[in-house]
Amino acid sequence: MGSARESAVGPGWRHEQIGFRQHDTRDKPEHPPWRWTPARDIMQAMTRSCSVCGGTTFGNLTILSDKLVAEWDLSPTEADYVNRQQGEYCLSCHANLRSIVLADALRAVWGTRLLLRDFCQSADAATTSVLELNQAGMLHPYLAKLPGHCLAVYPDIDMLALPYADGMFDVVVHSDTLEHVPDPVRALAECLRVTRPGGAVCYTVPVVVGRLSRDRAGLPPSHHGPPDDTRDDFLVHTEFGADVWTYPMRAGCSEVRIFGADHPTAHAIVAFRGPPAIQVPVETKAVVDFERLAAIQTEEATRQAMIVDVMRRSTSWRVTAPLRAFGRLLRLPIR
């Protein structure tokens, strides 16, 4: 969340704001744009680790202003998980949950078990081409190490008409930028256009899962960022909801996958162009082999027929007596 231009910075930027607030002696606003939780709210995550750096200790910042909560019409529960989405962060690398779940999505696309930090410096990453539209949160320092990395800043470049050739990149990635673009479907179509067949567009947007998406056209202007900052970069055009997956489908992708962290807290979306770049492991496939099923059914029918035939040919009264009685009920030709 934040401006289109500064959605890149995420928790690291806010961490700098914490430092400024703690150490700067200049006048500060009576009601700062961000509210920070005390040190006692820094927690040890027992069941979560950061897929960016492997850290297991997380801090928590309250990001949403009361003004934004009111504009977004968030319930207390919704405000809580959006705050976690944006403000719960790894104390080691400062990646917040939306950056961490985006890292999970990228690792899946690249088919690696390495941490994102380690993969970006590995030999396997040497041939990967990535277009990063705005700095993707705290993933940017690691993505920037990829030999095939390209950074483009919106709105300096037009996401509705990207200045790149068709199929130029393996992966296009952006984080909390799409909500600031006037036509998100067209922007996603452009991202897919510059992605090679089999490549993927990986991104995050703030999602309120208990409602449908809405266009803010005709509503009072709403900005993601400090309450007093009304730059165009911060202006919100779309508030995404449970139908967020339909946007890449309308843009023409062949498949959509959603990755989650502590649902409904944080989600990342992967939209494929053409055949998916990652394969579902065989053991997780739910595919019915109808030919094999028919063969099994035929084999079982044959086995049962053989049993009936043996019973019919038997001379033992213990077999023939009940069989004849049962046959008479079914009107079977048993003699």
The first and second tokens of residue 171, run together, are 């992966």
CA distance 87 to 97: 8
What pLDDT score does 29 carry? 35
CA distance 159 to 153: 9
DSSP state letters, 278-311: SPPPGGG-----HHHHHHHHHHHHHHHHHHHHHH
CA distance 241 to 205: 10
What pLDDT score does 238 carry? 97
* 210 touches 199 (CB < 8 A): no
Cα dihedral sign, 77-80-86-89 = negative
First-residue to last-residue Cα distance in the chain: 82
CA distance 151 to 133: 6
What pLDDT score does 152 carry? 96
What pLDDT score does 173 carry? 98
What pLDDT score does 249 carry? 96
Which residues lie closer than 8 Å to 227 by C-beta, 6 or more apart?
A: 33, 65, 67, 68
The first and second tokens of residue 295, run together, are 């063969």
The first and second tokens of residue 278, run together, are 């990652």
What pLDDT score does 27 carry? 38
Q: How far, in whole angstroms, is CA 293 from its chain's centroid?
A: 35
pTM over 0.85: no
List per-residue pLDDT tens for the chain, 335 residues long: 655 554 433 333 333 222 222 333 333 333 333 333 333 333 433 347 999 999 999 999 999 989 899 999 999 999 999 999 999 999 999 999 999 999 999 999 999 999 999 999 999 999 999 999 999 999 999 999 999 999 999 889 999 999 999 999 999 999 999 999 999 999 999 999 999 999 999 999 999 999 999 999 999 888 887 767 677 778 999 999 999 999 999 999 999 999 999 999 999 999 999 875 444 443 433 444 556 656 666 776 777 667 666 666 666 656 666 666 666 665 555 55
CA distance 4 to 200: 21
Query: Is the peptide bond preceding residue 333 cis, with omega within 30 degrees of 0?
Result: no
Q: How far is CA 95 from CA 18, 20, 26, 99, 244, in A?
A: 15, 19, 28, 6, 23
What pLDDT score does 100 carry? 97
What pLDDT score does 307 carry? 65
CA distance 296 to 285: 20
Half-sphere exposure (Cβ direction) of 67: Cα atoms closer than 13 Å: 16
* 103 touches 89 (CB < 8 A): no
3-state secondary structure of 99: helix
CA distance 206 to 194: 24
SS3 content of the chain, % helix, strand, coil (to 5): 40, 20, 40
Pairing type for strands 129-133 and 148-152 reads parallel
Q: Fill in the amino acid letter for 191.
A: C
CA distance 179 to 168: 24
* 85 touches 98 (CB < 8 A): yes
* 268 touches 51 (CB < 8 A): no
Q: Which residues pair with 240 in a beta bridge?
A: 207
What pLDDT score does 317 carry? 58
What pLDDT score does 3 carry? 52
